[in-house]
Amino acid sequence: MSKYEIESMSHGAYAISTDPDSGKKIFAENACPGDILELEIYDERKDFSFAHITELVSKSDLREEDPKCKLHKICGSCQWQHIKYEEQLNFKKQNLLDLLKQNQVDLSNFGDLDENISVTGLDDPWHYRNKVIYPVSSVKSTGRVMAGYYKRKSNDLINIKYCPIQYEIFDQVIDRLKELCTEYGIHDPLLRHMLLRASHDQSELLISFIVRGKLLSEADLEAIEKIFEQIYGEYEQLKVCTLNINDDSTNVILGKETRLVKGERDFIYDQIKDVKVKISTSSFFQINNKQFTNILDSIIGYVKEIKPLQVLDAYAGLGSISLNLAKSLPEMKFEAFEINSSAVADAHENILENELNNLNYIEASAEDYFRSLEAEFDLIILNPPRKGCTNKVLNEIVARDEVKDIVYLSCNPATLARDIKYLEKKSDFVLQSIKAFDMFPHSFHLESLVWLSRATDSNL
């Protein structure tokens, strides 16, 4: 069997080697640049192949000697835990730069890219996830309930007992919930997922069971109420227990109906930078409070430097960005829109909670909002989903001469690079700044923040 040297990391779970005979790229999981490996091809295609590691002949110096999670090789959550953390940051930066170059984004403003572009990491890249959603299964012979993550590229559930990237309280609570669900006979196919979310200091906790409503009997509901009643008394941090109903056979996890089962309120409080926020079961909220605070500091810094007259926060979620901007810059006016009605309701509650009178929040899709837009904004903040912005939205922005600056926050470097290039091609927007943040340590994912402005004599 041939030996292969791993050369680089892909933008994904795979490391890359090159077949010396054919020149084809070979993609292998759990490999690290600098490794010498024996590989077995399991999926050969015209231009590339996928392979399993059969033997680690020589370890790279970049390998992590003792990864915290013993399941990292099979769990679908942490694809890069076998790589030293500081090297993960280097590989993420390289992936971002590669995608920008592949899309022929103009980087002439940045000189030495290695020196002028970096990824902000965390001093402690563990226990950062403030929310988990675990699929549920059960042992048919005993009824024992299991919850965890799926194995990579499969529907086989890994029963998680300990996860070093999530808040520590979740390990305890999930384990207890599995015991109680086993005791009371609440399992699949009725119970689809368990959701847990907590405030940054883990002083407030929310639990939700996501169930198939058409299978929910009165006896099941009574059993769930008993489970929530019991665990509510065991954890003083637990403030909210809800039931979310989802009968759809799609990959959308949360349904539209959520019922409060136990608790005096249907949300928890959290603090994100200077703003107190209410977070409900279905709220979209960044999972890494500490890193998101760093991002907010950069966005506020951009706004102070740009000095816009009117600011629009697009794809605003429950308003984490615009709420903090409105709080930090009370002399300015802000508007935000979001398509998700529950997120908009959360935002309105949070505007009242923080006594803000300089933020207007609207429920609308991006396409509908820009199509009917009458107000003139000179700065637009974009924070779209992973698929990025549509050409229709970008065309609407480009067509508005009053828009002088765009601040774009993205969780997907590939669609970010695509959208930057589209703006460059269709208009005179120029890339002024690139910052990257490791929002998801030990995975290949990367959060990027860029600032583009319309070309002037000073920035040509």
Which tens digits make up the pLDDT trace of 171-226?
999 999 999 999 999 999 999 999 999 999 999 999 999 999 999 999 999 999 99
Contact 448, 388 (CB under 8 A): no
- Give the three-state DSSP class for 80: coil
In this prediction, residue 422 carries a pLDDT of 97
% of the chain beyond a pLDDT of 70: 99
CA 348 – CA 438 distance, rounded (Å): 30
Band of residue 373 on the pLDDT scale cut at 50, 70, 90: confident
Q: Which domains does the chain have, with CATH numbers?
A: 1-63 (2.40.50.140), 97-123+286-454 (3.40.50.150), 131-272 (2.40.50.1070)
411 is catalytic: yes
Residue bearing the bigger pLDDT, 374 or 190: 190
Average pLDDT over residues 365-394: 94
For 296, the enclosing helix (H) or strand (E) is helix 289-306
Range list of H helices, 361-438: 366-371, 391-399, 413-426
CA distances from 38 to 6, 73, 400, 444, 447 (A): 11, 17, 56, 24, 34
Which distant-in-sequence residues (6+ apart) come within 8 Å of 311 by Cβ?
A: 303, 322, 325, 332, 333, 334, 335, 377, 378, 379, 380, 381
Band of residue 243 on the pLDDT scale cut at 50, 70, 90: very high
pLDDT in tens, 344-358: 999 999 999 999 999
One-letter identity of residue 224 = I
Q: What's the token pair of residue 325?
A: 């901007």
Contact 418, 103 (CB under 8 A): yes
pLDDT in tens, 29-43: 999 999 999 999 999
Question: Residue 46, exposed/middle/buried by CB under 10 A (0-12, 13-18, 19+)?
Answer: exposed
Task: Check pLDDT > 60 for residue 252.
Answer: yes
**Strand segments (E) across 212-365:** 238-245, 257-262, 267-272, 275-280, 311-314, 334-338, 359-363
**Of these residues, 75, 163, 389, 411, which one is catalytic?**
411
- Give the three-state DSSP class for 148: strand
For 293, the enclosing helix (H) or strand (E) is helix 289-306
**Strand segments (E) across 250-320:** 257-262, 267-272, 275-280, 311-314
In this prediction, residue 11 carries a pLDDT of 87
Residue 156 per-residue DSSP state: P
Residue bearing the bigger pLDDT, 115 or 275: 275
